Amino acid sequence: MGGNISQLEKQIGPDNFPNNERYCGLINFGNTCYSNSVLQALYFCKPFREKVLEYKARNKQRNKETLLSCLSDLFHSIATNKKRVSTVAPKKFIARLRKEKEEFNNYMQQDAHEFLNFLINRINEIILLERNHGKPKESTNDDKQSSDEPTWVHEIFQGILTSETRCLNCETISSKDEDFFDLQVDIDENTSITHCLKCYSNTETLCSDNKFKCDKCNSYQEAQKRMRVKKLPMILALHLKRFKYVEHYNRHTKVSHRVVFPLELRLFNTSDDAVNPDRMYNLVAVVVHCGSGPNRGHYISIVKSYDFWLLFDDDIIDKIDQSTIEDFYGLTSDGQKSSETGYILFYQSRDTDTKVTHADIRANGK
């Protein structure tokens, strides 16, 4: 392992190694590549990392262990590691995870997206519980308002989808909003993320037994419905739906279609009243699934750190060329490169990236 570490530092170069940055591989405890890959991706989503480390700094003295406290300890151990490149054993975090959710308390392969979804929602719950800790049982309007206020998890990951339905009889348009922490995207063969997101907002006709109850007409009418993005999040997490249930086999199989994900992304399926509709995103991390099915195989992650890309495979870290990202698009026309496919994509808004970069420059004294 020592050779691998020294090799990475040689690849990066002493003059190019970012000040105050640490790269730590994570030990695999039998089946924990699903969490290791997601944790590495989240660590390199800098707004998330900064909030977790801030939480650690504010909660040095605590009486209760939570999943968030274990995560903050893990991130702190990475960020303050004496070595530039090393390995860390996330033993306490995994033990807490298995204690909090029974489905993860085994040695079977787990789904990285299910873990991400649980982790983000659980962190949000912990913040809300701690926000109201010690308050009297009799809740007041102020207490309710406090608990309803957005957390930093909302500030980073939450977007808003709006469902627009137009009655084809009276032309009235009604809309309904719903929050999301990630977008789950259907994929087609030989396509791109941009195309998939456009399809996400394709117009659907509601007719026959699926007519729309129009309040203005006071009856069921044919209508057109579409989903659009009303609020664009700071970190846009895209889950590619690569596991499809096949009734013939009575199990889920992997969809290895080639899906191109660009380094820069702009959403074109925004609503007319969207905030920051022209927001541009940069790709910062990808969780990659390697293998033929959801309950077998392996997870790795590729992340962007400053101006280069790294591949994290549990405790192994390699510097990769930017062109290598294409290897994770999926099945090519000649049938190659089908096993390693992008599964969860993390895009960070460019305006946020600028703020983080300025903060890094100040921290590094440049």
Catalytic residues: 33, 298
Q: Which residues pair with 192 in a beta bridge?
A: 260
Q: Distance (Å, rounded) from C-alpha 104 to C-alpha 130?
A: 24
Classify 4 as helix, strand or coil: helix
Q: Closest by alpha carbon to 43, among 301, 280, 298?
A: 301
Pairing of strands 251-254, 243-246: antiparallel
CA distances from 244 to 144, 155, 167, 239, 316 (A): 41, 32, 33, 13, 30
Task: Judge whether 280 and 233 are in contact, CB under 8 Å.
Answer: no
H or E stretch covering 286: strand 280-290
Task: Judge whether 268 and 197 are in contact, CB under 8 Å.
Answer: yes
* DSSP assignment string, 19-38: TT--EEEE---SSTHHHHHH
Q: Closest by alpha carbon to 281, among 261, 302, 257, 301?
A: 261
Which alpha helices (H) appear in the chain, and where do they start and end? 2-12, 33-43, 46-58, 67-79, 91-100, 112-131, 141-148, 152-157, 193-200, 350-364
CA distances from 246 to 69, 249, 253, 339 (A): 40, 6, 7, 19
The tokens for 365 are 């004294």
Interacting residues of 178 by C-beta distance below 8 A, sequence separation 6+: 160, 161, 162, 163
Burial class (CB in 10 A: 0-12, 13-18, 19+), 342: buried
